[in-house]
Chain A
């Protein structure tokens, strides 16, 4: 048997337990060493489920260990990694959960998973020097509206119809578990001001505001668009949230902290 076929048989049998032990495989104790081959199969399944467990701890807490492991194994079978970079394995897991029939009773689950996936990306995002309010003090007020900004490479907005920031915080140990009285939609700002990834609740209109800033529209235009989309938009509150998350930088400035 050609070595190519030997390897593809091995790979196929790893993915499909119904295929049994590959023909080329043997051992001193058995010609079809089922338990020995199963070590490899088990390493693959347990390794992938473990990677998802490490990346989605709050999601796991919400549904419990058994439900999560079952979902993780089904996801891993349908969406095996395509790259040896396991850091980002599971980017597609939130979308999988959104369509996962058994999770239908927990409609916010996929959004919490999206928030956790964004946190991992923020954790590994490029280092950058954030803009502090002090740096803005040199900008003349009349030019501020025309200024463009860039978002910190770690920034992601996770919009939801559910109070996902509160739910995530309760299931990640940030705050105590308690009934959520004020059940309303929350958009999350995920950013990494320094070493630690932070999650903030965004004020109304912030999503549109940030999307406009990300598109390099000037501050004034971004604010106008946000106000047009949501009459509750408050520029001061939004800038405060962005500064708190150190989420923005002035555009057209060299990024001094960028690594070579």
Chain B
């Protein structure tokens, strides 16, 4: 069963500075993704542009502020705003993060990590249940890029995500760059992570750029910056995933130092080429 209704092709995260180029001609892309919170104003240009995208392409709504990983109750007002947006634009997919971003009334504007414990598992399951029942739709939950670990964590991240999906029926958004970044930051194996990941539940893939520096001990510190091209190592991991799953809706995220449209489009088309190749590779044994 399909986990999302997005087409099995490449898309990009929409940036308003690209609107003129995007609207000038049909683009060879399957879908656009927007950050839901940027469209919570009442009207004006953002909604005019979103209407255009909605009318011409499949649409993915990506939330960054629902605070699903918080130990506090969900913000009902924010959930209502998300519902309004989903009802108004009927996106093919809605996704959010395994992270928290607000605490005690303050919004941190970042995706913050949580310990993987039984108590947090219960809390996240409750939050995903509440979000799905309010929105009246299945959501995809994204694996985070993390820089630290928690001493209390007792459950591997892949198991934590799988348990949430089992309990709530939600799908997963596999951010391959996040897998790479986290593995680098924790000196673990990205390949082993992907082998443990429940790929049958993946409804969308994210690819993005990162950069690397070092910590005070001289060990690699990899930053999920979304400000550069996808590196070859991440594309290679992506290939290994789609070799197992076949083509999946695949998004290029580029949020900082946003390049010209031609550069971003070329990056998406590079992902599309790999999706096409995976289709051929998987078709080959059957044809033989």
Residues of A within 8 A of B288 (CB): none
Interchain CB contact under 8 A, A40 and B110: yes
A225 adjacent to chain B (CB < 8 Å): no
Query: With A11-B106, A80-B107, A126-B42 in contact, do A36 and B148 touch (Cβ < 8 Å)?
Result: yes
- Looking at A6, A8, A82, A195, which has the most chain B CB atoms within 10 Å of its CB? A6
0/1 string, B13-51, CB within 8 A of A gives 1: 000000000000000000000000110111111111000
Interchain CB contact under 8 A, A10 and B71: no
B108 adjacent to chain A (CB < 8 Å): yes
Query: With A3-B120, A87-B38, A259-B47 in contact, do A11 and B104 touch (Cβ < 8 Å)?
Result: yes
Q: How far is the CB of B209 from chain A (nearest CB, A)?
A: 16
Query: With A85-B37, A123-B41 in contact, do A44 and B110 touch (Cβ < 8 Å)?
Result: yes
Interchain CB contact under 8 A, B108 and A14: yes
Contacting residue for A11 out of B47, B81, B103, B151, CB 8 A: B103
Query: At the interface with chain A, which of B111-119, B125-133, B246-254, B274-282?
Result: B111-119
Q: How far is the CB of A124 from chain B (nearest CB, A)?
A: 3
A137 adjacent to chain B (CB < 8 Å): no
Contacting residue for B147 out of A24, A37, A123, CB 8 A: A37
> How many residues of chain A get a CB closer than 8 Å to chain B's CBs?
52
Look across to chain A and name the residue whose beta carbon is closest to the beta carbon of B214: A35
Contact residues of A between 1 and 41, Cβ < 8 Å to B: 1-4, 6-8, 10-11, 14-15, 23-30, 33-37, 39-40
Q: How far is the CB of A216 from chain B (nearest CB, A)?
A: 21
Q: How far is the CA of A10 from the CA of B111 in the complex (A)?
A: 12
Interchain CB contact under 8 A, B185 and A6: no
A252 adjacent to chain B (CB < 8 Å): no
> How many residues of chain B get a CB closer than 8 Å to chain A's CBs?
55
Interchain CB contact under 8 A, A127 and B47: yes
Interchain CB contact under 8 A, B187 and A35: no
Q: How far is the CA of A10 from the CA of B103 in the complex (A)?
A: 10
A220 adjacent to chain B (CB < 8 Å): no
Query: With A123-B45, A124-B43, A125-B43 in contact, do A43 and B110 touch (Cβ < 8 Å)?
Result: yes
Q: How far is the CA of A195 from the CA of B105 in the complex (A)?
A: 34
Query: With A3-B123, A29-B217, A153-B42 in contact, do A82 and B148 touch (Cβ < 8 Å)?
Result: no
Interchain CB contact under 8 A, B215 and A29: yes
Interchain CB contact under 8 A, A34 and B38: no
A51 adjacent to chain B (CB < 8 Å): yes
Q: How far is the CB of B107 from chain A (nearest CB, A)?
A: 4
Contacting residue for A40 out of B105, B147, B221, CB 8 A: B147
B78 adjacent to chain A (CB < 8 Å): yes
Q: How far is the CA of A33 from the CA of B104 in the complex (A)?
A: 25
Q: How far is the CB of B109 from chain A (nearest CB, A)?
A: 4
0/1 string, B195-208, CB within 8 A of A gives 1: 00000000000000
Interchain CB contact under 8 A, A44 and B221: no
Look across to chain B and name the residue whose beta carbon is closest to the beta carbon of A257: B43
A210 adjacent to chain B (CB < 8 Å): no
Residues of A within 8 A of B151 (CB): 23-26
Interchain CB contact under 8 A, B71 and A11: no
A86 adjacent to chain B (CB < 8 Å): yes
A83 adjacent to chain B (CB < 8 Å): yes
Interchain CB contact under 8 A, B149 and A27: yes
Interchain CB contact under 8 A, B71 and A3: yes
A70 adjacent to chain B (CB < 8 Å): no
Query: With A84-B37, A123-B44 in contact, do A39 and B223 touch (Cβ < 8 Å)?
Result: yes
B83 adjacent to chain A (CB < 8 Å): no
Q: How far is the CB of A193 from chain B (nearest CB, A)?
A: 11
In the complex, besides A29-B217, A40-B112, A44-B108, 12 extra interface pairs with C-beta distance below 8 angstroms are: A2-B119, A3-B123, A25-B149, A34-B216, A36-B147, A39-B223, A40-B110, A43-B109, A51-B109, A123-B41, A125-B41, A153-B42
Residues of A within 8 A of B (CB): 1-4, 6-8, 10-11, 14-15, 23-30, 33-37, 39-40, 43-44, 47-48, 51, 80-87, 122-128, 153-154, 192, 195, 259-260
Interface pairs A-B: 3 shortest CB-CB: A84-B65, A124-B41, A127-B43
What are 30 A-B pairs at a CB distance below 8 A?
A3-B115, A4-B71, A7-B103, A10-B112, A11-B106, A25-B150, A26-B149, A27-B186, A27-B215, A29-B219, A30-B216, A33-B147, A37-B147, A40-B110, A44-B109, A47-B109, A47-B110, A80-B108, A83-B107, A84-B64, A84-B66, A84-B102, A87-B40, A123-B41, A123-B44, A124-B46, A125-B41, A125-B43, A127-B42, A195-B48
